[in-house]
Amino acid sequence: MAVAVAPEEIKALFERYSDNGIMTIDHLRRFLVEVQKEDKATTGDAQDIFYHLHELQLGLNFEAFFKYLFGDINPPLDLKRGVHHDMTAPLSHYFIFTGHNSYLTGNQLSSDCSDVPIIDALQSGVRVIELDIWPNSNKDNVEVLHGRTLTAPVELIKCLRSIQEHAFTASDYPVIITLEDHLTPDLQAKVAEMITQTFGDILFSPGSECLKEFPSPEFLKKRIIISTKPPKEYLEAKETKHRDSEEAYGKETTDLKGHIQAGDKNDLDEDSDDEEDADKGIMRSTRNVVPEYKQLIAIHAGKPKGGLEECLKVDPEKVRRLSLSEPQLEKAAETYGKEIVRFTQRNILRVYPKGIRINSSNYNPLIGWTHGAQMVAFNMQGHGKSLWLMRGMFRANGGCGYVKKPDFLLKSSPHGDVFNPRVELPVKTILKVKVYMGEGWFNDFQGKSFDAFSSPDFYVRVGIAGVPADTVMKETETQMNNWMPVWNEEFKFPLTVPELALLRIEVYDYDMSEKDDFAGQTCLPVFELRRGIRAVPLYNFDGVKYNSIKLLMEFDFI
């Protein structure tokens, strides 16, 4: 039993809030207010905990109290709050859980295309699904695939039907479909018919004109939204072949067995305009483009002619979406950081992985978020630390897939100044984190030792992902040969921008001769952490929650 190795500090707290080894409902209520910092905790809240623990007698003994602390009823985020951000502001005021090449089952070059990863993404709360649409081999139907690679296609209609079926299983807030369109006008007409018939009344289509301001997530609840480049702009962009943008962004090249050239430029994003289309029929006159397709597009995408300054100009009469690859954003941020922030106050910026990420890896999302980018697009099959951060951000606001951007990214000063991501700010608060102990590995690893001849040697890495000034990782001592390690170590993290900070927690088994074994991780939005002593569930490398593994930790702000 974990209670046998409970930290002395926890035992002392029980003694303080009990009489003769029994914690009454009133004792527990005081503990909730004074230690757990739940200022509004009532006798009824304490009774609910008693009821959950099946303790209907006079009070809790230490074992029952410890069971509460380590239980699912004591999580680090307040799951009962559900959606609690203001959802009535324009879409541009939110970070949105966004997928990239949402149909791929594996790598970017040779994996299969399927509706299964789309379904998985929607069920995990992703709200933006990207589909690359191409003519099939007979040029009479539409397929989804990663163009000019070895990926096996899937029919568009199958993807659309799966979106329709699963769009709102995890969240009622809108699902945006970004289309990377490589079609002839007659196939665009076919897509318009598919979309209209599949989604019917839940499709939000304001007509062919650009919106003057984006509607709110609340207004768009249970609606499907299409975003792509309108046909006229799309064809014009093909004709200019992106000469100006190439000057602005530079060119990164790579050669991957002849399948992908020009690095991130050939990521085939709908705003990357320097591709050579396989189907020259797409160059026919814009007069033949059917209006039905254009009218379905609620969020207009595209890069204006000219360099980055033109791209980032804010039009008071209309809003739009701009896409930049991760290296394009990094380069732009060096010179135009404040202009990007100003652009994202009204318009939507989508950031996507560079084309050389063939293994579907991801990048640091904080660069986009710090500049107000709403759609930081990730390969959801690209498991790893970057995706842990993405999932951590979208655990906020009830996991609905929309997180309200902090006010400093949305407002201008009386003189018109906006947030400058490159300026280091004073410390606003200090997050204090105490790592008490952990348990559950023996159950979840089925009693198998990490090491061949001994119990595991666990240590915890804990730190912050945020603006550069706040980003740091620290680690506990290693507890040798123990399935239920007790660390009792405290860390302090000064935060200049707590509104964008994520708490990273990782556990490893120390190995003297080989790479340390992974033993669990989680990532939590600092701005929604509950103060007090909390049971922190851990997840495996792929982001699946373990059945039993938890850390007992304490959080406070000073």
Nearest to 34 by CA among 452, 512, 531: 531
CB 402 within 8 A of CB 173: yes
Nearest to 184 by CA among 83, 282, 61, 324: 282
- At residue 261's C-alpha, the angle toward residues 257 and 262, to 5°, is 145
| Type of residue at 512 | M
Residues 125, 394: Cα–Cα separation, whole Å: 8
CB 41 within 8 A of CB 52: no
Nearest to 70 by CA among 432, 398, 440, 396: 440
Residues 157, 60: Cα–Cα separation, whole Å: 57
In the block, tokens 């959950």 appear at 52
Q: At 350, give phi and psi (nearest 5°).
A: -110, 130
User: Residue 451 gets which letter from DSSP?
Assistant: S
* Catalytic residue (one of 146, 242, 300, 371): 146
CB 171 within 8 A of CB 399: yes
Give yes or no: 242 in active site: no
Give yes or no: 54 in active site: no
* Catalytic residue (one of 27, 93, 100, 242): 100
Which tokens hold the place of 435?
A: 């790592």
Full DSSP string of 240-273: HTTHHHHHHH-----BSTTS-BSGGGGS--TT--
CB 45 within 8 A of CB 36: no
User: Residue 548 gets which letter from DSSP?
Assistant: E
Q: Which residues lie closer than 8 Å to 518 by C-beta, 6 or more apart?
A: 506, 507, 508, 541
Residues 58, 67: Cα–Cα separation, whole Å: 17
- Cα of 397 vs its chain's centroid, Å: 12
Give catalytic residues, as residue numbers: 100, 146
